[in-house]
Structure 1
């Protein structure tokens, strides 16, 4: 039973951390550095929160597989839409996990693959985050309609939307110089 609670809790913590990672990443791209928050600080914070996100996603996935309530196999968490248990919603989680793994691996070998290739794969973060959110909303069952979970999820969606809107506005007015 503890694994069920651990999986849900780790999933929600992952949502908050991945949202923070997304907003910090957008801030770095938008060159939101100030004297109080220099660019290297934003980059390091983004990296550290990203690593913490990966830890909580790993806890979420591991406890979901270990929990006896739902018949989730290891293959179900990496191969999308093959699970016998809620194949669509779990499949979205597998897609999000696969994208996250691609982001992590390419970030670890960034200097070897080059900035252009890294950027192309890193753009997957813009797909990974909403897929993960929809996975949580769909597979979360009654938890997703619990007041505080709904507020938390909507708060994360609002933060991500605000960050992405801010980035779009900066780039649309021409002030967002593309990093080379």
Structure 2
């Protein structure tokens, strides 16, 4: 059985799971931002929430596989302590530590979402907004440490996904929710 695992193309699988995790988590982030747009209603909004949750759970699972495969990799093996303790890796401790923190962050956001009903909305929202710095950690880990980052299409992927999330976030903050519009109209009429 051990021979089977050691004979796997682990370095390729680690890379594939890492980039797949990044892309799926990007989709989860994009769907989460789009979900917050005020124009989405009813069944379409509910469907978007389901896909948002699915993408984030799947992306986190892929990130866990990316991490666990490092144990059996023969090219550059990691031990459990290097994977669990941030910044303790022998090879590139800073960037690997950033990846470890990002994984912990993903797990924290998923956990707090699971117990959302037990938290005050502001507390849950504060944890949920950690998705932005966690995403930045994922970008830094993947782009700066990834062995494929020198390839043009991979660099383009990172740049395009970051730009898309910036545009979606900026557009969201430029949209004034209907409640705020009504309050500002009410206040201006009183003046």
Could you tell me whether the CA contact under 8 Å between 1:71 and 1:85 is conserved in 2? Answer: no
Quick check: 1:175 aligned with 2:180?
no
**Among 11, 22, 34, the residue aligned to 1:27:** 34
After superposition, the CA RMSD in angstroms is: 2.0
**Among 8, 20, 24, the residue aligned to 1:17:** 24
Runs of 4+ aligned residues of structure 1 deviating over 6 Å after TM superposition are none
| Aligned mates of 2:168, 2:83 — CA distance in 1 | 29
Could you tell me whether the CA contact under 8 Å between 2:70 and 2:77 is conserved in 1? Answer: no
Which 5+ residue runs of structure 1 have no aligned equivalent? none
| Aligned mates of 1:23, 1:106 — CA distance in 2 | 19
Correspondence for 1:59:
65
| Aligned mates of 2:28, 2:155 — CA distance in 1 | 20
Q: TM-score, normalized by length of structure 1?
A: 0.87
Q: TM-score, normalized by length of structure 2?
A: 0.82
Deviations 1:90-123 (A, max 9, x none): 0110111111110111111111233222111111
Higher-Rg member (1/2): 2
> Displacement of 1:34 after TM fit?
5.6
Which 5+ residue runs of structure 2 have no aligned equivalent? 1-7, 181-191
Could you tell me whether the CA contact under 8 Å between 1:77 and 1:93 is conserved in 2? Answer: no
